[in-house]
Amino acid sequence: MENNIKQMLIDNGLRCTPQRLAVYQVLIESHTHPTADQIFYKTQSILPSISLASIYNTLETFVSKGIVKTMQTEDDAQRYDAKTHKHHHLFDTESGSIADYHDDNLTLIIENYFREKGIPGFDIQDVVVNIKGKYRR
């Protein structure tokens, strides 16, 4: 896996620093769309000397290169997602968890709708559906 991460960094014009390797490893292993603080605590187990500032700088670099996406939650927490392919999100209102939701038909319907209708004076870059609810237990 480390070789894949190194190649992805190189392909995006980034040096393979220990901080970048550790942060990206934490992100791709996470299925919870973690905050910067959560990434910091998990990354410390891989690289104990890493600082919170390094986490923020690394995440900002990843976002600017398009290899990580951000999302805001209702409580205004910024979360990070290394899965940059088209997908939507399920927000569990009870636990606060966020899960990926893949539905190619939904994506196609949304893309076709906005391609046809558009929004006057607004250039759409991406559309992500955030579905709120709670899991039946």
Q: One digit per residue, pLDDT tens: the chain, 137 residues?
A: 677 889 999 999 999 999 999 999 999 999 889 999 999 999 999 999 999 999 999 999 999 999 999 987 777 789 999 988 889 999 888 888 888 999 999 999 999 999 999 899 999 988 888 899 999 87
Residues 59, 28, 81, 112, Cα dihedral to 10°: 130
What is the reported pLDDT for 96? Answer: 83
What is the reported pLDDT for 1? Answer: 67
What is the reported pLDDT for 38? Answer: 95
Whole-angstrom distance, CA of residue 87 vs CA of residue 103: 7
What is the reported pLDDT for 39? Answer: 97
User: Under DSSP, is residue 14 helix (H, G, I), strand (E, B) or coil?
Assistant: coil
- DSSP for residue 41: H
